[in-house]
Structure 1
Amino acid sequence: MGTIIEIVLICLTLSLCVESDKNDKNAIESACCALKISNALRLTCVADLNLPPNILQDYGTDIQNLEVNFYSQSESIFLSLHLESIADFKNLTSLAIQRADISFTRKYVVPIDSLKDLKLLHCAFNEVPTKLLKSSRNLENLSLEKNRIRIIEPSAFNSLKHLKDLNLSWNRIHILTPDCFEGLNKLEKLNLSYNDFTAMPGIFYGLNQLKTLDLTRALLPKGHQDRNPKDPVFLEDITVLVPGLFDDTPQLHYLRLDRNPIKNIAKGVFNNLRFLKELSITISSVATIEPGAFSGLNLAKLDLSGTPTETIMFEVLSAGQVGGLLPIRNHISKIQPRTFDKLSVLTLNMSFNFLSVIGDEDFYGLEVGELILSGNGIIKIAPDAFKSTKVKKIKIGSRLAVSVDKKQLGLREVVTLEK
């Protein structure tokens, strides 16, 4: 016999203008649409309302998943939500609130021990809501995206001993105080993208189990318009990744540093990341990479696409192992002889750069499955250019692929040569 799923849809007039009192239940019902499917409830409101305590009791106390959304064309109008409204949901495991002015009518927040997932998006928080978080000590996933948080204070998340995933993207964070992540010993994923803070050693202290870190456009030298330019910890020119920055995150597997104004990658920044699988530094300002910057890494993917790097220097990749190396759409016009010596990689994609000539030792000592050079406008390849290269497939991307002789280039007949 099939499972019976309870579906209750209460959707009265969706009016942007409510004439009766905003606290009145009839006013709420006239401006909100409630959809209940089994033990999940979604409440969507389109008017400036105040949801008082106990207003949601009519939907039962068996709710496990609750989503409250407020939509308005005005940035200054929010849904007023008293957290006591959900206090009776003793089995609540997932709570998502969007565009709500969250308030408390009691001196404390009723604990929700069952809550595992909490999303508070676009709720105009100016700081981390520690009072609320202390009532949800068993949280595993927390998202505070698109708020107005500027400073992460010390021990801001200390009550969340079970937290695994923390999303702080799209805020206005410009200060990460020492020990701000203290107590997050189980955190595996941290998203700090689209903020504006100074990256200094020690800011990730306590995150020794972190596996994924997203710092996409988080280190901008020019912050939000309301940033105080006198903030002492703010750097006007972030050009170098400081060695030791990631020493407190030795378990990192995935690291994103895209869209940051990083001009130089120094030796010693990534050397402690022995378990790193993917490193992405795309669409950045990287012009120089110090020799040995990636030494000791065993990467499945290194993406350097969209940077103004003009050359790949000798020993930059020394002692490193990479599954996929992707310096795509850079400004590379020259490859230093033996740059790739002793490098073993599945894919080397150097497409859409400015290479016009391939020298006789440009790819000396390289062992690669697929070498992609298309989009460069190559007009000349030196004789025996690939004699000391172990390669299975080459994409040249020019008319040379039709006219050149494999033997003349030092390639075996079994090597696939494509235009």
Structure 2
Amino acid sequence: MASVFLGLMTTLSSTLIWQDPVNYYCGEKTFSETPVSVSKSSKFVADIAAEPLQNISLLLESSSFVLDVTGCLTPKGILRPAIGIEIVNETLPILYSGAVQNLIVLEMIKIEYCGVQDIHPGAFMILPAIHTMLLRFNRLVYIKEGVFNHLRVAKLYLSNNSISYIENEAFDDMPNLRLLNLDSNRLKNWNSDWFTNTPNVQTLSVDSNELTKIPANAFNKLRNFHFTNIRLSNNNISYIHPRSFQKLHLLYALWLDNNLLFEIDPSAFVHLEQLYILSLTGNKIKCLPIESFYAFKSPDMILRVENNEFMSCSCLKKIEVWAKSNEYLLTERFAKNECSKKKKQPLSNNTLRN
């Protein structure tokens, strides 16, 4: 069901009749008699802005009605004051150029479970108020330059697709972008050239992809913000370059859970002076370069190292001394329990012979 939620400015009379503007060029038809539900309620805006954004349920008023859209979404008639558009469970394999255009008060676009495989450059154009775009649960494979560039979107959700390639310039020139979610895709390589002139990203989530390494200068295009979060959990990361995070002195949280990390270069985290959360659970880490951790200057910190099956008890002891000396919180229940078990185990015959 495709839903368009409307909000009218208070200065407009409820009896005002919008005049259809000139015909807009839509290119190829994206929508073919697509049912669109329309409401005059704008309550959903506050719900969308709330975090965390997981399951959005936007309720229509009893006064809502349905119309069919063919071609593209343009400011004609009742669509002209649209604040939000929701399209769910329709068949939209391709969003052509001009699919959504010239809606000057549109704040949110949600197109999910529609089988979208391709988005052409210019599919979203002249949307000066756009804030949130949700294109989750589709079949996107390739993100092209010209789809999102120069949009004023602040939150972009592309999770639960099949994205394996993103062009170098695909996320350039997006000065308002604060949140990008690429979870549950098929990315194998991180591109350090992404985010040119897109410095304000504060939440970057790339959980559950197929990344194998984090290159040098991976996030150098991002501004050094307090409360920046980077999530790289549930990948295949086995290598972190010593200069991957070198400009993020104010990084707040770094999540690297459930990867294939075996050892970490002593310089990898030394730049993260204000780090509050460093999560390394579920890797294969034998020991951490704990000497470099003394460079951290954060007054509070949480370090998670549990479920690292190869971590030695002597290493864990060093980590405990470091955490205690700085009054940091160390969550190492699994590792500590394993060390306790080892102490209690009886010596084997081979050990006695030695």
The Cα offsets for residues 390-415 of structure 1, whole Å up to 9 and x where unpaired, read as 66222223227988xxxxxxxxxxxx
- Report which of the two has the higher share of strand: 1
The one-letter code matched in structure 2 to 1:370 is I
Find the residue that maps to 2:246 and give its secondary structure.
Answer: coil
The Cα offsets for residues 57-88 of structure 1, whole Å up to 9 and x where unpaired, read as xxxx99xxxxxxxxxxxxxxxxx9999xx9xx
The one-letter code matched in structure 2 to 1:279 is L
Cα distance in 2 for partners of 1:259, 1:120 equals 33
Aligned to 1:268: 193
| Alpha-carbon spacing, 1:275–1:390, altered in 2? closer, same or farther (3 Å) | farther
Aligned to 1:140: 83
Equivalent residues of 1:338, 1:365 under 8 A apart:
no
Shift of 1:271: 4.9
Query: Is structure 2 residue 112 aligned with structure 1 residue 169?
Result: yes
| Alpha-carbon spacing, 1:277–1:184, altered in 2? closer, same or farther (3 Å) | same
Cα distance in 2 for partners of 1:82, 1:293 equals 43
The one-letter code matched in structure 1 to 2:146 is G
Aligned to 2:285: 355
| Alpha-carbon spacing, 1:120–1:310, altered in 2? closer, same or farther (3 Å) | farther
TM-score by length of 2: 0.68
Shift of 1:347: 0.8
Query: Is structure 2 residue 242 aligned with structure 1 residue 314?
Result: yes
The Cα offsets for residues 288-342 of structure 1, whole Å up to 9 and x where unpaired, read as 2211111244353111111111133211111013211111112222111221112
TM-score by length of 1: 0.58
Cα distance in 2 for partners of 1:362, 1:380 equals 19
Shift of 1:139: 0.4
The Cα offsets for residues 368-401 of structure 1, whole Å up to 9 and x where unpaired, read as 5111111213224458667699662222232279
Find the residue that maps to 1:325 and give its secondary structure.
Answer: strand
Equivalent residues of 2:130, 2:153 under 8 A apart:
yes
Equivalent residues of 2:180, 2:205 under 8 A apart:
yes
Equivalent residues of 1:250, 1:273 under 8 A apart:
yes
Shift of 1:159: 3.8
| Alpha-carbon spacing, 1:218–1:355, altered in 2? closer, same or farther (3 Å) | same
Cα distance in 1 for partners of 2:314, 2:65 equals 56
Segment of structure 1 superposing worse, 354-363 or 335-344: 354-363
- Percentage of identical aligned residues: 19
Equivalent residues of 1:184, 1:206 under 8 A apart:
no
Query: Is structure 2 residue 313 aligned with structure 1 residue 370?
Result: no
The Cα offsets for residues 131-156 of structure 1, whole Å up to 9 and x where unpaired, read as 79654100001101221012222222
Could you list the runs of 5+ residues in structure 2 that have no partner in the other structure? Answer: 1-13, 16-32, 43-60, 341-354
Larger Rg: 1
Find the residue that maps to 1:168 and give its secondary structure.
Answer: strand
Aligned to 2:232: 304
Aligned to 1:58: none
Aligned to 1:338: 267
Query: Is structure 2 residue 148 aligned with structure 1 residue 204?
Result: yes
Find the residue that maps to 2:85 and give its secondary structure.
Answer: strand
Find the residue that maps to 1:328 and give its secondary structure.
Answer: coil
Equivalent residues of 1:133, 1:159 under 8 A apart:
no
Equivalent residues of 2:74, 2:101 under 8 A apart:
no
Shift of 1:246: 0.9
Equivalent residues of 1:120, 1:144 under 8 A apart:
no
Equivalent residues of 1:241, 1:265 under 8 A apart:
no
The one-letter code matched in structure 1 to 2:258 is R
Query: Is structure 2 residue 346 aligned with structure 1 residue 399?
Result: no
| Alpha-carbon spacing, 1:166–1:358, altered in 2? closer, same or farther (3 Å) | same
- Report which of the two has the higher share of helix: 2
Equivalent residues of 2:120, 2:144 under 8 A apart:
no
Aligned to 2:209: 284
Cα distance in 2 for partners of 1:120, 1:266 equals 43
Cα distance in 1 for partners of 2:98, 2:242 equals 44
Cα distance in 1 for partners of 2:312, 2:66 equals 56
| Alpha-carbon spacing, 1:136–1:326, altered in 2? closer, same or farther (3 Å) | same
Query: Is structure 2 residue 264 aligned with structure 1 residue 327?
Result: no
| Alpha-carbon spacing, 1:260–1:326, altered in 2? closer, same or farther (3 Å) | same
Could you list the runs of 5+ residues in structure 1 that have no partner in the other structure? Answer: 1-60, 63-79, 96-114, 221-237, 404-419
The Cα offsets for residues 342-370 of structure 1, whole Å up to 9 and x where unpaired, read as 21211111112111323454636334511
> Number of residues paired by the alignment?
278
Cα distance in 2 for partners of 1:256, 1:160 equals 24
Higher RCO (Cα < 8 Å, 6 or more apart): 2
| Alpha-carbon spacing, 1:132–1:276, altered in 2? closer, same or farther (3 Å) | closer
Cα distance in 2 for partners of 1:356, 1:150 equals 47
Over the aligned positions, Cα root-mean-square deviation in angstroms equals 3.7
Equivalent residues of 1:146, 1:170 under 8 A apart:
yes
Cα distance in 2 for partners of 1:316, 1:82 equals 47
Cα distance in 1 for partners of 2:64, 2:245 equals 42
Shift of 1:263: 0.7
